[in-house]
Amino acid sequence: MISCNNEPSLQKYFVENTENKDFIALDVSPSILNLDQTKLSLEQKEAMKTFEKMNVLAFKVNGSNKAEFAAERAKVAKILKNEKYQQLIKFGSGKEGASVSFVGDDEHIDEFVLFANKENAGFAVVRILGKDMNPTSIMTMMTALKNSNINLDQLKPLQEMLEKK
């Protein structure tokens, strides 16, 4: 509130909390999609090039960190209120929710941010980073993903977290 010089960013937040034991951090490379390059159209290949990586940071609620959960969730929510993050869609209630925001402008998207949270379970922030992504390339990627054989191994830690609830 007092000064904006020390502006918090998601980037910083990720770095600060990667080692924190309440968090699970994951870096996911495009290889997770396990796309058969030979079956992609030229357009799809071009579109896939704009996607660089995905970073996931998840907070897991256990018996003793409820207060931290509320505090950390509030921190992320505050960061996402920065006008740099343009919100696209929001869904949810007081107890749980999800939102999608992006950074950049319409035809040159640098980053998508997914933020999902659920009371008593935890929250996750997903950053999808790319280079000059645009709405058309995203749609093209989506269609390519339909034929992908997603390799979920990279997401194992998250799956485990969800299963434990």
Partner 1 sequence: MKSAIQKLVFALAIAFMPMLNFAQGAFDKFDGQDDVTSIIVNKKMFDLMSKVKTDASDKEAQQYLNLIKKLDNLKVFTTKSTRVENEMKASANSYIKSAGLEELMRVTENGRNIKILVKSGSSDTQVRELLMFIEGGKGEDTVLMSLTGNFDLNEISTLTDKMRFPGGDDLKRATKGSKGPKGAK
Which of 39, 81, 156, 165 touches partner 1 (CB under 8 A)? Answer: 81
Binding mask 17-56 for partner 1 (x = CB under 8 A): ----------------------------------------
Torsions phi, psi of 10, nearest 5? -65, -40
CB of 141 vs partner 1, minimal distance in Å: 12
Task: Give CA torsion, residues 135, 140, 146, 148, to 10 deg.
Answer: -110
Distance between CA 18 and CA 110 in Å, rounded? 22
102 binds partner 1 (CB under 8 A): yes
Which of 94, 146, 149, 163 touches partner 1 (CB under 8 A)? Answer: 94
163 binds partner 1 (CB under 8 A): no
Per-residue burial over 86-112, b = 16 or more CB atoms within 10 Å of its CB, e = otherwise: beeeeeeeeeebebbbbbbeeeebbbb
Q: Which residues of this chain interact with partner 1, rule CB under 8 A?
A: 1, 81, 86-95, 97, 102, 106-107, 134-136, 138-139
